[in-house]
Structure formats: structure tokens, C-alpha cells
Amino acid sequence: MTPDLWLDAHSYLRPVADLSVQVDRAAAGIEVLDACIPSWENYHADFLAGVPLLPSTSAAVDLEPGGRMAGALLERLASETSSGSLAAETRALDTELRREPEVARRIADFLLGDETLRPSFRGLLRYLGWTATARFLRPVVNAFDSWRDEEQWLRCYCPTCGSPPSMAQLVGNDPGRLRLLSCGCCNTRWRYRRIGCPFCEGADDHRLSALAIEGEKYLRIDYCQFCRAYLKTYDGEGNETFFLADWTSLHLDVIARDRGLKRLASSLYEL
Ligand SMILES: [Zn+2]
Ligand SMILES: [Zn+2]
């Protein structure tokens, strides 16, 4: 699937596609700072106890360079000559954050849920911050993927950053089909139980209901009869980067909302 073909068939996604292209292009132009791979031995006990990697004091991953990359991305977008609301908002945010002492550290803490930083464009900072930080974290996420015993996690939140999933993916063929959950923030994918709702887990091991979307071969909505939460699911392999990007299926969020379902999945597109 190429973005052009997708956008021909889903022209209403064009504005968010343009935004995503503009931000990714700017992000590709900033220097990727080195991330240290943590000691897995030090982190192991926290992992077994369900503590995600980034908040773990035993793993001690320093996210400050990711915050610096986020600052650089913001500065780059703010200095571009384009007009429109993205340019205006990034400029305002850039000016505002320049007044903060230790801003890179503050942005990194903000991304992990610290609420003492109260930027005027919160959603935008989360989106740009995670876009830059995911690039910084890529080697750590890859090393963590290789080290992690998926059977020992199977939790409803991201093993790297602790966020709720943004989407799900089904891989393989029955009877060995697996469900992966995907983090829209740090881009980790992790294994979860094949049945059951990740938003009200513990209730029952009930099956989610699947809602097929007319004309969509690869995407469907799985929803929970109990808590009415839904999870957009990519039922395919090979186009993860595209289909798990969340923005490519924002029309499914509209369909789900029209049916009275709740989005409890995290999203960086609530700008
Ligand atoms: Zn994550
Ligand atoms: Zn549920």
C-alpha cells in the first residue's frame, strides 16, 4: 500500500497526511543523539514486576537527549516560513518553552506523564515530542525487543513507555495467530492475549466483537461489550509503519464514535 493510493481512496485524510509528512520531514533533518542501551540485568526485576523500561529507576534510561531532539524539532518547524496554524502554534510553543530552565529535561518528563509543565499547545508538544523521542529511542526499543520475553509481559500497557496501546495487529495464521498491541508514542509493539479487552482486563476473559468496515481489507474495529472501548486492528503484515501510524485510519475513529464506542486507546492526533 502506498500513501498515494490510500489518499486517493480516502481524500478526507489529506490534511492529516500533509501534517504528518511535514513533521516527519522536519524530524528527518535533526541530528539523532546517541542513546545508551540499559543494563538488562539491572532492569530484570522491575520488568517482572510490570514496571515499564523508561520509568524504571533501575534501568535508568536517560530521556533528556530525546527532549533536546524534541526542542530541535520544534525550533526547526517554528523557523520554517510556512503559514497556517501549525506554523503559528509551533512558533508560540517554541517561544514559550525557551523561557523554561532545563527545557529538554522538562519535555522528557512531560512525555512520561509529569504534569508540572503546562504548555499552551499540549497535544502539539506531545505529538512533536514523541515524534522526536521515538527516533532517539529506536536503538533502545530494538534492543529491548530482542531481550524481552513476551510471555512475561502480556500487559495492557507499553513495556517501554507505559502508554496504553494506540492500535492492535493480528499476525500469523490460526491456530498460532498472535495479537500485538502497538504504542503510538515510542513505536514499541508487544504481545498481548489473543482474546480479552486491554481496557477493562480482569473483568472476564470475554471476546471482543469485531466490526468489519466496508471497503477496508486490512483494518477493522474490535470493541468490548462491557466497557464499550474499541481498538483499531490491522489485520495484515508488511505495512505496519503505514497502518499502525494511527492517522491513516482516523476515519475508523469517526465510525466507532458514531456507534457510541469510546476511544480509550492513546492517540497523538488529538492536537
Ligand atoms: Zn510506548
Ligand atoms: Zn473492555
Residue 113 has pLDDT above 80, yes or no: yes
Ligand nearest to the CA of 223: 2
Backbone angles phi, psi at 180, to 5 degrees: -110, 145
In tens, the pLDDT along 206-260 reads 788 999 998 899 999 999 999 999 999 999 999 999 999 999 999 999 999 999 9
In tens, the pLDDT along 31-51 reads 999 999 999 999 999 999 999
Residues around ligand 2, an ion, CB closer than 5 A: 197, 199-200, 224, 226-227
Nearest to 158 by CA among 230, 234, 238, 55: 55
Residue 161: pLDDT band with limits 50, 70, 90 = very high
Residue 8: pLDDT band with limits 50, 70, 90 = very high
Q: What pLDDT score does 242 carry?
A: 92
Give the distance (Å) from ligand 2 centre to CA of residue 203. 8
In tens, the pLDDT along 63-77 reads 999 999 999 999 999
Give the distance (Å) from ligand 2 centre to CA of residue 225. 7
Give the distance (Å) from ligand 1 centre to CA of residue 61. 14
**Can you tell me which residue has the cell 540499559?**
38
Nearest to 124 by CA among 75, 89, 79: 89
**Predicted model pTM:** 0.93
Q: Checking DSSP bridges between strand 167-171 and strand 230-234, what pairing results, if any?
A: parallel
Cα–Cα distance, 9 to 67 (Å, whole number): 37
Q: What pLDDT score does 206 carry?
A: 75
Q: Where are the alpha helices (DSSP H) in the chain?
A: 3-9, 14-28, 40-48, 64-79, 85-98, 103-111, 122-147, 240-243, 250-258
The Cα angle at residue 248 between residues 8 and 88, in degrees rounded to 5:
95
Among the listed ranges 78-82, 123-127, 138-142, which one has the minimum average pLDDT value? 78-82
Q: What pLDDT score does 271 carry?
A: 61
Give the distance (Å) from ligand 2 centre to CA of residue 210. 13
Amino acid (one-letter) located at 233: T
Selected residue with higher pLDDT from 2 and 114: 114
Residues forming beta bridges with residue 189, ordered by sequence position: 182
Selected residue with higher pLDDT from 62 and 85: 62
Residue 202 has pLDDT above 70, yes or no: no
